[in-house]
Amino acid sequence: MTTSSSPLTHFDGQGQAHMVDVAAKAATHRIAVAQGRIVMMPVTLALILAGNAKKGDVLGVARIAAIMAAKKTSDLIPLCHPLALTRVAIEFVASPEDSAGVASLIDGETGHVSCTATVETVGPTGVEMEALTAVNIALLTIYDMCKAVDRGMTITEVKLLEKHGGKSGSFVNP
């Protein structure tokens, strides 16, 4: 086989997938923030905000699912390191809504719920994958809990917003 000159760190010199060795890396405070959203019909958003979904508190269940997903990322993504997370915070913003938090949608308009996950650790590798996994699972949980009303929901715009810590320093997505 030929030697790989790929900048992708999850491949060795022969091009074989491997788990990156982080033993020599310094343990630093690392933070990652990811975000995504799920677009839905106005009636679906109204049900979520009113707490009237048949399966219960949609955003409460999605928050717990996201936290669990962040903790289990290494079980889902084959080359991720298991990490001792020090913080997982999940925030939801429903839009459009009025100042009382009630959906204020015009006929034909769509609503959405945005999810932001902030994940932290002190360790030799970052938590970007944990933050991204948390957002995806939160949005999938919302879909699962509301699909009886709205199978046309769309999960979109999932991305890393920022990361801090480690040798590569900070990254902020423009």
Return the active site residues. 144
- DSSP string covering the chain, please? -PPP--S-TTB-TTS-B-----TTS--EEEEEEEEEEEEE-HHHHHHHHHT--TTS-HHHHHHHHHHHHHHTHHHHSTTPPP--EEEEEEEEEEESB-TTS-B-PPTT--EEEEEEEEEEEEESS--HHHHHHHHHHHHHHHHHHHTTT-TT-EEEEEEEEEEE-STT--EE--
The CA distances from residue 73 to 65, 135, 163, in Å, are 12, 12, 17
What's at 4, amino acid-wise? S
